[in-house]
Structure 1
Amino acid sequence: MLAGATLWGVSTGAGWSADPQPYVTKLASTGEAGLDTALQASSDLLSLQSTHAVGPFALAGRVRSDYTRLRTALESCGYYDGTVHIVLRSGDGTTAAATIDGRSQALSTWLEAIPKGKTITADVSVEKGPLFHLGRITLVNGKAGSPPALTPGQEKAFALAKGQPAVAEAVLGAGGKLLEALREDGHALAKVEKPTAYVRPQTHTLDIVYPVSPGPVLNIGQITLKDLKTVKPAFVRRRMDLHEGELYQPTKIESARQDLLSLGVFSSVVVQDGSETAVNGTMPLDFSFQASKRHSVGAELGYSTDLGTRVGATWTDYNLLGNAERLRLTALITGLGGSAQQGLGYDVYADFFKPDFLQRNQNLSARIEGLRQLLWSYRQTAVLLRGGITRPLAKNWTGNFGLMAEQEKIEQFGVTRDYTIFSAPLAAMYDNTGVDNPIEPATHGVRGNINVTPSFSVGSKGQGVSFFTIMSASAATYFDLHNIGLSKPGRSILAFRATVGSIQGASTWSIPPDQRMYAGGSATVRGYRWQGVGPQYRNTRYAIGGTSMDAGTVEYRQRILSSFGMAAFVDAGQVGNSSTPLTGTLRVGVGGGVRYYTPIGPVRLDVGVPVNRAAYGDKWDLYIGLGETF
């Protein structure tokens, strides 16, 4: 049994009392970090001393309350025979005595006798006493009165054993884990009540009795959809990976809820049991929906010294036909002030996205685009049509296949040609970084992709027909220095990137200029403008392009404080006239940058400097964007 708190001393005489009465609390350490934390969190004297000043009478009540709160904290950590001491001392070194025994007058009178201007010190300490351990643990069926029949998995989830410390968090947590296990096994109506504890001071043990009512095993019953105002119910039911007659499992139900939320057309999806009792051996489910905003308007802005300023606006409809189809219209002005540009261009396109095309988790995307860009390497005006299907292939793997048609006019080195190009891009992507938002930086794992695009083009002015296949692959991996004990998680990251490409089936001059391979810029080698790495036309700033390309990056990323970061990098790459990579003149760029982390991702500013600058190349390049480069 816990002893009472005693206040020692003798009264010093009369004087006007302070209201509020200032005081300072000193809580002595027990030598046990977890217990100290629990005591500090429980003490009102400690937590309220600077924010909620009170007069003598209320302070006396706070002292009595602290006695009870600290005793509860002791018991929650397994100390059921400890003692709490609270000693108040006046600021002039004299003391007054009172005993907390259920009568408030003595303590209040002593506090009221403290003159104004004097600060009281509250010395708080505890004697832990012996640590209690669990004794007998009994599970009783709340209705039948007999022990409930648990499966091995449910017993493992309960995870309480005789002899372990009688810590409240473990005891109460075991009931919650048992309830989760029961419900996951189909016991939708299971109940696990709060346990009754019996203290055995003689043996320093705690006997626990847990009332458990498993209830029957139920399947999922009728699924009701409520408040679907703009999305078609038939689409939601096809999308939902949950069906009537399946075993009731909360994790699967939650997974279905999260999946519906990921469609982007709902701001809220709530699921609840549809009944308090079983309905023909099932548990009905009620899904309630709240629609998100259907339309949005956004702005796009980017800058680099090579490609210049890119600015524009987007408009998006997130539920075009009632099946979560997305239509996005974008208009951009490009090429303002870039060293790789000869003038202003534009990029206007409409993107259409349809989820669950023909079957679940198979998405259709299509784009129609009008493009004009005035690069030093060529001038292009084009209309493009693209369509493709994306679907998961295996864990962390996604596949994409589609068709593309392009009609373009290109001027290069004083010659203008028209091209009609047809291609069938195929791609496979791998990502185990666990990051769904492409703007959010990855801190571990691997990202990679393989692309094969069979193509043929028909050109004017004797260019004829050419068949060629564009192949490329890239991979990036991230290593957290926390793994070797050098930093806190996610603060210091080494990032690596490698890219390789090859065009088979045609020579450089038989391939339309925009289909050739180029390097330079933030996607390959920073410090060199876009198309600034590779063969140049007669030693000018006009890039020819090539039929092979390879590039690699090593980057160190360091977060500083909570919102800032820095990066340092080395890039290297080359473009060759052979279809075999690792040919051409290797160009190396080095540099660094700063980051400002926002809720939607980091704002990035990088500066790259060429190590072996080519003729007519930039002396440095600046890149500003949202998200990391890879």
Structure 2
Amino acid sequence: MRSSPQPSAPGAIRAARPVPRRTAPPASIAWPNRLAAALAALGLATAPQALLAQDRQAPATLEDLIPDAAVDNPEAWAEEGVEPEARAAAQQSPAIDPGDPLVDDPAIQVAWPDETPIPEPDPLAPEEEIEFADIDREFFRGAPEMKVITLGPELALGFPAEEGSFPQRDELAKRFEALSTVEELQDDDNDDNIAQLAARARADEELLAQLLRVYGYYDAQIIRTVGGTRPGGDSAERGANVRFDIVPGERYSFGAIDLGEIEQAPDGPALRSAFEIETGDPLSSDAIVQEQFDLDRALGETGYPFAEIDEPQLLVDHARIEGDLTMPVRPNGKYAFGEIVSGSPDFLPSRHLQTIARFDRGDIYQRSLEQDLRRAIVATGLVSSVTITKREVAPPDATRPGEIALDVEMTRAKLRTIAGAVGYGSEEGFRVEASWEHRNFFPPEGAIRVRGIVGTQEQLAGVTFRRNNFGGRDRILNVDAYASTIDSPAFDARTLAFVASYERSSTLLFQKPISWSVGFEAVATGERPPANDDTPQQPRQTYFVGAIPLYLQLDTTNDLLDPTEGFRVSGRFSPEVSRSRGVESFYLRSQFDASYYRQVSDKVVVAGRARFGTIAGTAIANIAPSRRLYAGGGGSVRGYGYREIGPHDELGDPTGGRSLAEVALEARIKTGFFDGALSVVPFVDAGTVSTSTLPDFETFRVGAGLGVRYHTGFGPIRVDVGVPINPGPDDSPVAVYVSLGQAF
């Protein structure tokens, strides 16, 4: 933005030109009319060219002293004006030694003035061209009418006490404090620091003037004081500090506003309304920047992909106390989306990119949808960068918008990934998981993943096929086959499984308010109670299970891994059929989860969770132990072993149940350690498992403890230590859990 040259601010002091002093000469001193003759008589006459500065058109009073004849022939003129005796005396005068300025010159004879008083000179009349400012003396003394805002030991700002005279003072003070160079100095009274303070104060004064102009105060006065009494201290407390007293003056307003061709666009009135600055509004550079952004967004969201907005120009008129704004806008036509053209059709073809896009061909162009397409392509994990170029296919006319194509160029990313995870629970033991993945083994977005688990209680090997964006945006097809062994306190199982699902779920880039999945499971598992030293190994019982699991979740939280606000509600329903030893059973497994998060202060988040599960339709003996309900562990009731809560057999091993109820409450408290990355989490958990379809609370267990969270860029690392409040006979006195992410 440009500004016209600014006149002197009201009340500013202008420099006055020197005025000659007029004094009357002493009455007893006679001045000769012929100055050159006197100089020649004294031996002080100079070369002729020394007098060439005499103006031939000089005033008459000066002409009487040095006429034109003296200029033409100064020596002859000097001889005419000096008596022979004086000329002879001058020739006989002794030379004056320049090194002895006190030697008397006998040629100089000046009579001492008599006692006649020297008359008083007449006072000079003031010149109309000189202006004197009206200075508020009390203002310069920091009078009580100034409100002082102290920004630190080195810096303070003074504003008029009447808040209405400058309502932006608090906002300006914060911005000035953030940019001030004075604040960078330490509170040190040595001479070097004082010198630096003075230099930085001058720079800060210019900064403050610029900030005042941002708010439209172009005639503001700033009085800088360096090295005065500290703000808030007594008169004896002296130190190096800077104070700026501000008189903002009158705030300028917007004058004429010129937005170029915006009114000529098909949506001209709507676009003009997006620029919410009108003539007469208070002038503000921040408002110009904000409204330029809003207008640019409106153009991009209503079908103008090629719109141009020039840099705003502000012409400040100090006489009118206004600023005229010129910001040429060229909409350049309205367009609709056309086709999407992939630059790598064998990698991610155009048809697949159209599936990812949230718009159809013929929809009015929206910049946000173009940017969404770019993010979605990056979210596939197959590319490292994406460039989308808009290309005109058909120009707009008076009846319909034009058409543009989106040309997509992609830089391929590394497609193979090796990943791993390590976890530990004092009751579950260690668990190590590793995987290898190729994310585009079957283009487009057909990934294959091989994984394995080695742990104290579980071992698994499996292969998974996954196709992202299958049949629609953010829809995933999963097909998984695995073999596993589980040796837990509840059961010993050898399992083969085939699981397929089609889902729409949240990701780290796109957290969705509604997620769902539908699937199919075919499981063959041989299971038996765990063996111990007191009982012989029992034979396995084989179960063949078929299930159609369904899942639905509503999520209003603000973060997928570490929420601080909102709630989640989800339900799982799995109609199942099981066959074992010639007995066929039908039942419904259901589970409901709800969690709530509330930030009660800047450092404290309170989180709560509830869970209810039930299996209805058959006796517990007809349900494979691995498909029953259990409680206890790091993701359930902390302080107890994994799956240890609930009914037990005569040997003390958990048998699981047909109903489940859990509640949990914790406070996530941030600390100042590790730059605020460390939090402490006190928690209380409780739960019960029953053999009936509704909980009976006969084995209701409560655990409590303290955890820590170390927040990283990919989620918090969790360490929880819990103790059972009402433990059973075989429960350990303490349990430790380590994992990634919050407990819920």
Matched position secondary structure for 1:160: coil
Partner Cα distance (1:67, 1:5) in 2: 18
Matches within 5 A, 1:317-396: 317-335=438-456, 345-391=458-504, 396=513
TM-score by length of 1: 0.80
Cα deviation code 1:49-88 (max 9, x no counterpart): 99xxx9xx99999888766544323211221012345677
Matched position secondary structure for 2:594: strand
Q: Among residues 551, 554, 560, which one is paired with 1:427 in the alignment?
A: 551
Kept in 2, the 8 Å contact 1:303–1:624? The answer is yes
Is 1:306 paired with 2:427? yes
Partner Cα distance (1:241, 1:389) in 2: 20
Kept in 2, the 8 Å contact 1:28–1:124? The answer is yes
Partner of 2:216: 78
Kept in 2, the 8 Å contact 1:133–1:162? The answer is no
Instruction: Kindly provide the amino acid, as one letter, of the partner of residue 420 in structure 1.
Output: F
Q: Among residues 144, 166, 171, which one is paired with 1:34 in the alignment?
A: 171
Shift of 1:346: 0.8
Partner Cα distance (1:572, 1:216) in 2: 64
Is 1:288 paired with 2:288? no
Partner of 1:340: none
Q: Among residues 611, 625, 628, which one is paired with 2:725 in the alignment?
A: 611
Is 1:594 paired with 2:686? no
Kept in 2, the 8 Å contact 1:526–1:571? The answer is yes
Alignment CA distance shift 1:27-1:206 (3 Å): farther
Gaps of 5+ in 2: 1-6, 15-151, 160-168, 229-238, 531-537
Matches within 5 A, 1:512-527: 512-527=624-639
Matches within 5 A, 1:407-486: 407-412=524-529, 414-436=538-560, 440-460=561-581, 464-481=583-600
Matched position secondary structure for 1:318: strand
Is 1:627 paired with 2:741? yes
Matched position secondary structure for 1:333: strand
Alignment CA distance shift 1:85-1:26 (3 Å): farther
Matched position secondary structure for 2:157: coil
Partner of 1:560: 671
Matched position secondary structure for 1:524: coil
Which shifted more, 413-422 or 520-529?
413-422
Partner of 1:256: 373
Alignment CA distance shift 1:187-1:231 (3 Å): closer
Instruction: Kindly provide the amino acid, as one letter, of the partner of residue 570 in structure 1.
Output: V
Partner Cα distance (1:67, 1:333) in 2: 67
Partner Cα distance (1:308, 1:215) in 2: 66
Q: Among residues 489, 500, 508, which one is paired with 2:612 in the alignment?
A: 500
Partner of 2:292: 175
Matched position secondary structure for 1:34: helix
Shift of 1:244: 4.2
Shift of 1:549: 0.9
Which shifted more, 278-287 or 125-134?
278-287
Instruction: Kindly provide the amino acid, as one letter, of the partner of residue 516 in structure 2.
Output: G
Partner of 2:278: 161
Shift of 1:212: 2.6
Partner of 1:339: none
Gaps of 5+ in 1: 7-23, 91-119, 336-343, 482-486
Instruction: Kindly provide the amino acid, as one letter, of the partner of residue 432 in structure 1.
Output: T
**The structure with more strand, counted as a fraction of residues:** 1
Instruction: Kindly provide the amino acid, as one letter, of the partner of residue 712 in structure 2.
Output: T
Q: Among residues 290, 307, 311, which one is paired with 1:194 in the alignment?
A: 311
Number of residues paired by the alignment? 559
Kept in 1, the 8 Å contact 2:392–2:403? The answer is no
Partner Cα distance (2:13, 2:671) in 1: 48
Matched position secondary structure for 1:130: coil
Cα deviation code 1:435-458 (max 9, x no counterpart): 34xxx2111112222111111222
Partner Cα distance (2:250, 2:681) in 1: 51
Kept in 2, the 8 Å contact 1:519–1:575? The answer is yes
Alignment CA distance shift 1:364-1:410 (3 Å): same
Kept in 1, the 8 Å contact 2:435–2:449? The answer is yes
Partner Cα distance (1:38, 1:361) in 2: 43
Partner of 1:545: 656
Which shifted more, 409-418 or 520-529?
409-418
Partner of 2:342: 225
TM-score by length of 2: 0.68
Matched position secondary structure for 1:29: strand
Identity %: 25
Shift of 1:522: 1.9
Partner Cα distance (1:396, 1:498) in 2: 20
Alignment CA distance shift 1:575-1:75 (3 Å): same
Partner Cα distance (2:480, 2:632) in 1: 27
Shift of 1:151: 4.7
Partner of 1:97: none
Cα deviation code 1:454-512 (max 9, x no counterpart): 1122223xx6222222111111111111xxxxx22xx3111111111111111111211
